[in-house]
Structure 1
Amino acid sequence: MHPVSLFALLTASASASITPVTPRQSAVNQNVIPKSFGVTAGQGKDQVQVGSCSGANNKLIPCYCPPAPDSPEFLSKLAKALTDGFIFSKEQVAIPITLEKFNDDSDTSVDTTKLRATAMIQVMQNFNLTTQGVGCPGVSVPVLGQMQQTGILARSLSGFGNEGK
């Protein structure tokens, strides 16, 4: 190999390894998601309405609701919605926050916390991702409802849903 070619190759390799590459985010930062939604799926099965269980304020919810906050299915659907910006199409169910902004755990502002809660509730309410509005109702995730109203990441479960009862 010609010495100049070898030098050019080594220089190109060295500069390529120094160039910073910003990885594209594709996963959800679980640090900005509550450890619990306040309701545990399958609790308080209703004897009259089969397939229904107890949610917040003893409202009936599907027994499969809600998924756990660390459920791979929930996290992947949330990441997809945040990445796409929509749950279904651009005409329906726009997500109010980007994945990058959602994941920024240094942003604990009231506005961002409310947007995070809204995005998670939207994913819950459209959980099957095939039919709009088919999923888990808001009473299955009272902690997210509190976050959406107050803009504070809830740490205490007292007074919520069916947990701790």
Structure 2
Amino acid sequence: MRSSTILSLPVVIISASVIPTVSIDPSLIPDFGVTAGQDPNGSGSCAGANDILIPCFCPPDREEFIEKVNLAVTSRNFLGTPVTFDVDPLAQSEKDQFNRATTCLIVLQSFNGTRGVGCPAASAPTILDQQKHFANLLERDLSHGS
């Protein structure tokens, strides 16, 4: 009979980089304002906001979009573009809301994984309107010395 000895060696697995996770409250991300696939023209384009043609796959699935926004917020950038998004639902300043809308548009416009290849802002008029609204308020505050 042969006896075999099995040596037990401790195995340690260390992650090279530990990325903290973020879970964004979906209520902090506005609805897109249009639905994908509306009024297709037969050439791959569909109706977006104000009858601007957008790719028929735009806007993307909301859950998938929120996942990508989460990843961008966690890494503080999306495809090399810095993003700022306060995940605290109590943070409702004009700047917080402007930054959230801007982050959403950055992710949307590069949604397919290549910078600038994704869905245009016309596929998310609610988000674009929010960004413009808070940009105007911030501009007003700056011009009044606030």
Give TM-score, length-normalised by structure 1: 0.65
Task: State the identity %.
Answer: 39
In the alignment, does 2:128 pair up with 1:145?
A: yes
In the TM superposition, residue 123 of structure 1 has moved relative to its aligned partner by 0.2
Task: Count matched residues.
Answer: 116
Over the residues paired in the alignment, what is the CA RMSD in angstroms? 1.6
Structure 1 residue runs of 4+, over 6 Å off?
Answer: none
Is residue 59 from structure 1 mapped to residue 52 from structure 2 by the alignment? yes
The residue aligned with 1:29 is 25
Q: For the Cα contact (< 8 Å) 2:22–2:73, is it kept in 1?
A: no
SS of aligned partner of 2:78:
coil
Q: 1:135 is matched with which residue?
A: 118
- Structure 1 spans left out of the alignment, 5+ residues: 1-23, 153-165
Gaps of 5+ in 2: 1-19, 136-146
Asked if the contact 1:112–1:151 (Cα under 8 Å) also holds between the matched residues in 2, the reply is no
For 2:41 and 2:104, the matched residues in 1 are separated by: 26
Give runs of aligned pairs for residues 1-165 of structure 1, distance below 5 A. Answer: 25-34=21-30, 36-47=31-42, 50-68=43-61, 71-89=62-80, 93-95=81-83, 97-98=84-85, 101=86, 103-129=87-113, 131-151=114-134
